[in-house]
Structure 1
């Protein structure tokens, strides 16, 4: 049986964070000299930590290694003792000394070992269970004896000198002669009574490469209709595209942005949702015909930030600030802010305001016509305007404002371009989302996703509905997230792929704190301060090594193969549209996907009973 590596070794030259020369030497060394029973995980996601290598054997144990390409001829290092306090790593270069303690590899692997034992391996026995875990450091370009002597004090302080077979430190000598026992003494062990298949699976789900990271190395695939829309323009330059959830609207928009950049065009992409911008940027990078630096050379802004930029650039920041003093924020966004920007553009003139060859708007159902009108003013003559939308996901109650007359006045003519086939959703999840839409959403706003006729629906999809009392809702949500992180359903699921969605920040932060009390780190956007929450949204991206958590509003347009979704409150039409949006965020995966809904709504109780797995607490 061939060795399991994550990511596969054929992908090593395509990693977003390329291997250093030393890391490549170490990988080749392990791949050559370790038996094939040992898995190799390269730069694994580990609850926010990113060790260089983790090795895993279901019969023997676990090993974590930090690799340092340090040149000891260029910089002088020493360990500085400080009484009973932790010894500090000090570097000297050009006569200047400075602390390198944050990069002390002994401290790094010590932390890895502690977290592996306490968090990821709950089945290990106390004390003796530590013998299953090796924590080593490798210096591919340094002498073995030199690095062993240099870090002796650090190893001694952490009690690691007592058990050198579990805490090896090695250099180029051992690597050059293929001495695997010096680099990793426990590699020759055939069996450990403390290791088990269950422990192996516990850890594998923390280590395996997330779906997002793997997808980022693959070019996006467009069907014939999507490709035509992404590579062409209408005679007028105005195009509107609508489609159901998962039909590729965002793929087309991002691909079109990349195409236009390649033609030397100045491009602006606008959304209402701040977090959606990261998703679109990640797609644009993957477009096979992308030329130029799509992340930096395309302007990516949410509508509010674009308006604020105009106000700042043209010297109207006082007027901008005054908008928010007495009026309700929603009224400012809907009416006053676009009116102010419209006036500024008229007063400033064409030569002062930044204009674009193309303006592309995603999730257009979230926009008011007045927003579109003011964006049109910064589009160059004979430029291009693109609007994509799905009225079924009308969570802000704005889609109804786009009447036929308004559409004509917005520059559109002729019918919508339609994307009918949903590629994102697993077949059974698509059926349940369609059933939900037919039961609860306005008939004239429904755009039911349609499956690919060639799709056999063979991927495993775990759908689970849990009805709870709101007094225990946060406990059940955290338990359901932990269930995914411990049982590994499906077994190839990376913990970093798990996403928690709810409809309020107040509830979300309670779940995050419960997970935090168990040592599980979460990337979230639930800060109670509005300004800080916006900063969190800007930094929210699926490539982070932690469990993800955000509101249903902020996740609109995104996707994940493993979701726990919570919703409560009065189910008006906005809330029902929001829940539908959440149900359609599930992404199909060849190795399986899973969606759990935790609900307190009696109104949804009967519908929940139709799901393959239903529980009532």
Structure 2
């Protein structure tokens, strides 16, 4: 039997947050001394928390360990009691006293243990949680007695001393003599009546490494055509790329950006949507690690703002936004154009290359403005897919508009959709034929002679609009319950909605059950922008955002919730959402919760169609109760 280690041993030296020397010693200790059935998870994504190690045995239980590689002689540390509060850990160096409470390992493991007992397993009996979860602390560079003495008041406050076997603390002495039972007393067990393989499957959802960090450690995968586009430029420097969803337009753009940055070029990458820039930067980093910091990544309107602020026109910029509810796009473009045209002092930054993704969201005059900041002899790239015309702007790119945009020759076409699982393509094609305008539709071709080796689960749940949020939250828990043995992580799950209000309702419902979401839902525009800038697939929580904000992205497990889809833009928006699903060797998952009656007939064609018109969910029990009742 081979031990499960996640991430795999061979990947540990390339983690985004590398293991420290002390953590390596602890890992080697566990791998050398634990029975092989104990699984080792390093820096797992635990609902937004990141403990150093979690150990799982499907017949015994789970253990979480915090490792502190502290030199107790380098900084003086002590604990002070506080009335009705946990004791506080303090430190002193060079005559200065400071709090170390945020890094107090006792409080950290206490929180980890509470999270596991209260959230991760709906089937854990709270009375038996103590016997299922071990919370340990290891100091690989300090003596056992010293660390025990230092943290004694903290451990007594949390009642850890009286249950040492479930709350062990150890130092370098135990590690050096290979004393597994001092470091982890419960390792001696071979079974527990409180643990079983089904419960272990629940826990793995929160422990296994998500898809995003795995992907981030590998270079971008390019076919021959994509590689040629990423490594070359046209004679004029202008190139336009199109193709169906998943054909690699964004990948080519990111790879091209990485190459130009590596050559020392000044690169500006622009998109309409803020969150897409995070995805593009992450992709470019895979080929050239300094890419995120070395390039400029801006959405179009923030680039306009930067031009104004860099040239002492901030007051004029603010004046454009003085009328509430008015979006001054044309006036803003006119202001920026006049600034660039009169920039005799060179205050406006120019670039060797300007790369634009999701170009169908742009107006031709935006492109014209960006051309003005491309250096002579520079490079311009436009990637576009008119099928995903969610803002109704694609038709602005007429032949006449294109003639004045600097391009020569036809579009470069990427034909093959690599992202989509083959089992989804027929349903995407059917959707496109039914609901998208023929003149704009660029649908992924059927991949002939391809074995369906990357399975996907497709589920359509038809509901009344008022039930959409509750049903989506319920489907999240059902997905957690059903797929713990397929390498799926909770962090892989992404929820896409057609409105901010719907998204906030879902996040609130899921949050009531203890699961955290990183989301972009905020009425205040400034707060919304901050949330979008902080939206990364590598975040340890469930992802939740609008269909608009997820354009250009991809995910292994998608839950799409729409209440209404009455016009062409709404239909294009759902198409964009359906085509975000990413194939995966262990399977991918797409659930649509739909409150639009006009889509019910289409939904019936899906392999798993559920029609739910039901009474008030307040009478139905909790979300997790209902999920746990399902077969």
Q: Please give the secondary structure, in 1, of the residue aligned with 2:114.
A: helix
Which residue pairs with 1:301 in the alignment? 298
Q: CA deviation at 1:451?
A: 4.8
Q: Does the alignment pair 1:360 with 2:352?
A: no
Q: Does the alignment pair 1:492 with 2:487?
A: yes
More displaced stretch, 534-543 vs 261-270: 261-270
CA contact (8 A) 1:138 1:169 kept: yes
Which residue pairs with 1:74 in the alignment? 74
Cα distance in 2, alignment partners of residues 132 and 263 from structure 1: 54
Cα distance in 2, alignment partners of residues 439 and 59 from structure 1: 51
More displaced stretch, 318-327 vs 197-206: 318-327
Which residue pairs with 1:480 in the alignment? 475
More displaced stretch, 17-26 vs 260-269: 260-269
Cα distance in 1, alignment partners of residues 486 and 399 from structure 2: 49
Instruction: Spell out the pairing of 1:271-290 with structure 2 (5 A cutoff).
Output: 271-287=271-287, 290=288
Which residue pairs with 1:260 in the alignment? 260
Cα distance in 1, alignment partners of residues 377 and 559 from structure 2: 46
Q: Of 306, 316, 320, which residue of structure 1 is paired with 2:313?
A: 316
Cα distance in 2, alignment partners of residues 570 and 461 from structure 1: 25
Which residue pairs with 1:527 in the alignment? 522
Q: Please give the secondary structure, in 2, of the residue aligned with 1:445.
A: coil
Which residue pairs with 2:628 in the alignment? none
Cα distance in 2, alignment partners of residues 388 and 527 from structure 1: 29
Q: Please give the secondary structure, in 1, of the residue aligned with 2:292.
A: helix
Instruction: Spell out the pairing of 1:138-537 with structure 2 (5 A cutoff).
Output: 138-287=138-287, 290=288, 293-326=290-323, 329-330=326-327, 332-333=328-329, 335-349=330-344, 351-453=346-448, 455-488=450-483, 491-537=486-532
Q: Please give the secondary structure, in 2, of the residue aligned with 1:136.
A: strand
Q: Please give the secondary structure, in 1, of the residue aligned with 2:274.
A: coil
Structure 1 runs (4+) greater than 3 angstroms displaced: 327-330, 451-455
Q: Please give the secondary structure, in 1, of the residue aligned with 2:79.
A: strand
Which residue pairs with 2:623 in the alignment? none
Cα distance in 2, alignment partners of residues 63 and 484 from structure 1: 24
More displaced stretch, 246-255 vs 425-434: 425-434
Q: Does the alignment pair 1:100 with 2:100?
A: yes
Cα distance in 2, alignment partners of residues 556 and 104 from structure 1: 41
| 1:171-214 deviation digits (Å, cap 9, x = unpaired) | 00000111111100001111111111111001001110000010
Cα distance in 2, alignment partners of residues 310 and 83 from structure 1: 55
Aligned length: 612
Which residue pairs with 1:30 in the alignment? 30
Q: Give the alignment's Cα RMSD to 1 decimal.
A: 1.2
CA 1:381–1:54: 2 relative to 1, 3 Å = same
| 1:122-146 deviation digits (Å, cap 9, x = unpaired) | 2222323311111000000000011
Cα distance in 1, alignment partners of residues 360 and 419 from structure 2: 20
TM-score after normalising by structure 1: 0.98
TM-score after normalising by structure 2: 0.95
CA contact (8 A) 2:469 2:561 kept: no
Q: Of 512, 535, 538, which residue of structure 1 is paired with 2:533?
A: 538
Cα distance in 1, alignment partners of residues 95 and 402 from structure 2: 69
Which residue pairs with 1:559 in the alignment? 554
